[in-house]
Amino acid sequence: MRIIPAIDIIDGKCVRLLQGDYAQKTVYNENPLDVAKSFEDAGLTHLHLIDLDGAKAGKVISWEVVERIVSNTNLHVDFGGGIKTQAEIERLLAIGVTQVNIGSMAVTEPLKILDWLKAFGAEKIILSADVKNESISISGWQEDASISIMSFIKEYIQKGITHVTCTDIGTDGMMTGPNVELYKKLLLSFPTLHLIASGGVSSVDDLHELKQIGVDGVIVGKAIYEGRISLDELINL
C-alpha cells in the first residue's frame, strides 16, 4: 500500500478544509514546496497535490506551485483541481506530473475522458470520485451530481479506467477514521481496481485497517499536519 501525503493549495499556501468547506480553512504552511521537501526528506515517494483554487474556478490556477514542487523534488506527484482541457493535461505531464485526477469532467463531459484515456493511457488518468452518502459530488464538492458511486465507477472501468481515488467527504478533515465499509464494498465489487482511499485517516491503526482490506494507496492529510501521525510512522508502514 502506497502512503500518499496530501498538499491542498489555496492562494499558493498549504491548507486543509473541513469536509470540503472553503469557509473552514486552516493554513498550515505558507510554502508548499517546504512541505513537499519534508515529505521527501522523510523517505516518502508520492504526493497528492490539489489546486483548490482551480477546483473552484474550473481551470488550473496554481501552475507556479506545481512547477516548483515537481522541479525541486523527485516525488511522484498526482495533481488535481480544475483540469478541464487536454492542453492542461499535456502541460502538467510535460512539467513532470506523474498522474492527473479528473473529477467533475468525468460527470459533465464523459466523452472527453474517453479521448484523454486514448491520448494519455489509463496509467496517467486517475478518476477522482468524491462521495457524500455514496453519491458523487462535483465542482470542488459544491454540487451533488445525483450519481451513485457504484454506477459511476462501473461505467468508467468499462471505459478503461484502472485508477480511482475515492474521497469520502463526510469524513474528510474530521479525524474520525476513514469509511472502511465503503472501500470494502468498492473492492468487492471491482477487485481489479487500483483504489486509493482518501478522507478521515486519523491514526496508524486506520492505515493498518486500510492496508488489510487491500487498497492500493491511502491519502493522508490533516493527520500529518495535526501531528496525529508522524512521518517516521508513515515510513515504517
| Helices marked H in the chain | 32-42, 52-57, 63-72, 86-95, 104-108, 110-120, 149-158, 180-189, 204-213, 222-225, 231-236
Please name the residue that has the C-alpha cell 463526510.
170
Q: Which of 51, 53, 130, 168 is catalytic?
A: 130
Q: Which of 8, 51, 172, 206 is catalytic?
A: 8
Residue 69, burial from CB neighbour count under 10 angstroms (0-12, 13-18, 19+)? buried
Please indicate whether residue 172 is annotated as part of the active site.
no
Please indicate whether residue 8 is annotated as part of the active site.
yes
Give backbone dihedrals phi and psi of 195, rounded to 5 degrees, phi first: -100, 125
Enumerate the active-site residues. 8, 130
